């Protein structure tokens, strides 16, 4: 048993007692087993707990004992809390589960959540959908197969449509929730501005070496001189009627899949970065990170149509007309804001594709300028080329028409 697991029992034992009381009959007397998730998590520590009833088996013939597998999310080490704004992230995730998850069914059940002034006492307890329902993470962190991409897009369309429905039918409740969301990364004083600004023009050296249009390279470089404030913060500004509740961190790491009838089914996790804004923030982030090599006009049109069909179907099921959410409006919105995902990819795609194991503590120990320089090196010339080609494909799609 690792040291972190040994140290958790002083707070985990009373938490298990509390959770057991919520689980109800058969869990009056329990024992538990705990392990620490081996994944890399910056904003929380994850503990995988199996709560086992000490009562007689519910099925004497097969000796089946009642048990429940849960995921317990706790604050990370104090050294990371300020750097990643852990309090704000926990607040947002708890807010989502308490105010929105009741209307959207493709998330783990939240069994218990508590937000406390003392950060170390805040906790989120979720059903372990991997253990109970057989979901798993996608093995493709980049170059994600199209069937998984389309499954993710159909489901994020439902997620956005449920938010549109809330906005139309429970307006006060919806905007009370939206107004309670706390910003984590994209605000004027954020240290992320130095990372965005420092990586935005990463592919230009590659394009210049290839002899690509010097005027374009110079113009794009000049436009990105203060990119975070001039572009990224503009992309996240709320504009109606397309603004919806966004996942905010719509990446393959936050999507769980399982095959049913040879079709991948989807559950979303990790809602710490939810925001109210353009659906393109979610869509472009996924595509620029996970379909970066082939993000051309044909593929974009394909996935946007699949997304839009699913969106309209869900709206109709909830008796909401789709007049404000036409395909033409969505297409134009992608042209206006699709560069958001590109800017995310300039600092994050390299780490997705890197064969090095990137430790969170190593990155958090850097100042923002060092972090940007480090990010620009990850993945080497292969990532430079992918980003360069992606930028040109987005230019062809029309995503640069609004900024150059």
CATH code, domain carrying 124: 3.30.200
Residues 68 and 140 in one domain: no
Whether 178 is in a domain gets the answer: yes
Question: For residue 357, what pLDDT is reported?
Answer: 66
Residues of the chain predicted below pLDDT 70: 1-7, 38-43, 57-63, 77-81, 119, 357-362, 364
Residues 280, 367, single domain; the answer is yes
pLDDT for residue 3: 41
> pTM score > 0.85 for this model?
yes
| Residue finishing a domain among 117, 133, 149 | 133
Q: From 240, 238, 226, select the one nearest 188 (Cα to Cα).
A: 226
Inside any domain, residue 404: no
Domain boundary, last residue among 106, 133, 160: 133
Assigned domain for 235 exists: yes
Triad 168, 287, 289: Cα angle to 5°: 125
Is 377 found in the same domain as 363?
Answer: yes
Give yes or no: residues 92 and 180 share one domain.
no
The per-residue DSSP string of 294-305 comes to G--HHHHHHHHH
14 and 152: one domain? no
In the chain, the number of structural domains is 2
Q: Answer yes or no: is 252 within a domain.
A: yes
DSSP structure string for 191-226? THHHHHHHHTTTTHHHHHHTT--HHHHHHHHHHTTT
Q: State the pLDDT at residue 2.
A: 44
Do 66 and 121 reside in the same domain of the chain?
yes
Task: State the CATH number of the domain containing residue 212.
Answer: 3.90.1200
165 and 120 part of one domain: no
Give the model's pLDDT for residue 367.
Answer: 85
Write out the residue range of the structural domain in which residue 64 sits: 3-133
Picking from 113, 133, 153, the residue at the C-terminal end of a domain is 133
């Amino acid at each position: 048993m690792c040291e972190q697991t040994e140290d958790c029992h002083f707070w985990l034992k009373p938490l298990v007692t509390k959770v057991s009381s919520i689980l109800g009959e058969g869990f009056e007397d329990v024992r538990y087993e705990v392990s620490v998730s081996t994944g890399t998590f910056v904003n929380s520590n994850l503990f995988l707990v199996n709560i086992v009833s000490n009562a007689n088996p519910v099925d004497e013939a097969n000796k089946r004992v009642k048990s429940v597998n849960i995921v317990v999310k706790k604050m990370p080490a104090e050294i990371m809390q300020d750097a990643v704004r852990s309090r704000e992230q926990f607040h947002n995730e708890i807010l989502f589960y308490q105010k929105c998850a009741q209307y959207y069914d493709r998330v783990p059940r939240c069994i218990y959540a508590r937000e406390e002034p003392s950060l170390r006492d805040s906790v989120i307890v979720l059903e372990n959908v991997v253990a109970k329902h057989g979901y798993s993470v996608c093995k493709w962190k980049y170059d994600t197969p199209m069937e998984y991409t389309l499954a993710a897009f159909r489901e994020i369309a439902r997620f956005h449509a449920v938010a549109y429905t809330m906005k139309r039918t429970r307006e006060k409740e919806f905007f009370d929730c939206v107004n309670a969301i706390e910003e984590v990364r994209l605000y004027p004083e954020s240290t992320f501005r130095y990372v965005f600004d420092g990586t935005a023009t990463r592919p230009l050296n590659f394009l210049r070496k290839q002899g690509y249009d010097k005027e374009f390279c110079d113009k794009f470089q000049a436009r990105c001189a203060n990119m975070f404030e001039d572009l990224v913060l503009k992309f996240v500004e709320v504009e109606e009627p397309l603004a919806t509740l966004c996942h905010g961190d719509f990446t393959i790491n936050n999507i769980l899949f399982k095959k049913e009838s040879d079709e991948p089914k989807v559950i979303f996790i990790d809602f710490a970065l939810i925001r109210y804004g353009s659906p393109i923030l979610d869509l472009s982030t996924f595509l620029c990170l996970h379909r970066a090599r082939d993000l051309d006009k044909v593929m974009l049109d394909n996935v946007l149509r699949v997304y839009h069909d699913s969106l309209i179907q869900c709206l109709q099921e909830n008796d909401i007309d789709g007049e404000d959410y036409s395909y033409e409006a969505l297409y134009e919105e992608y042209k206006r804001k699709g560069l958001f995902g590109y800017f995310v990819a300039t600092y994050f795609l390299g780490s997705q594709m890197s064969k090095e194991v990137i430790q969170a503590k190593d990155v958090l120990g850097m100042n923002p300028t060092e972090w940007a320089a480090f990010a620009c090196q990850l993945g080497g010339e292969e990532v430079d080329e992918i980003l360069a080609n992606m930028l040109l494909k987005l230019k062809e799609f029309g995503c640069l028409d609004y900024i150059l």
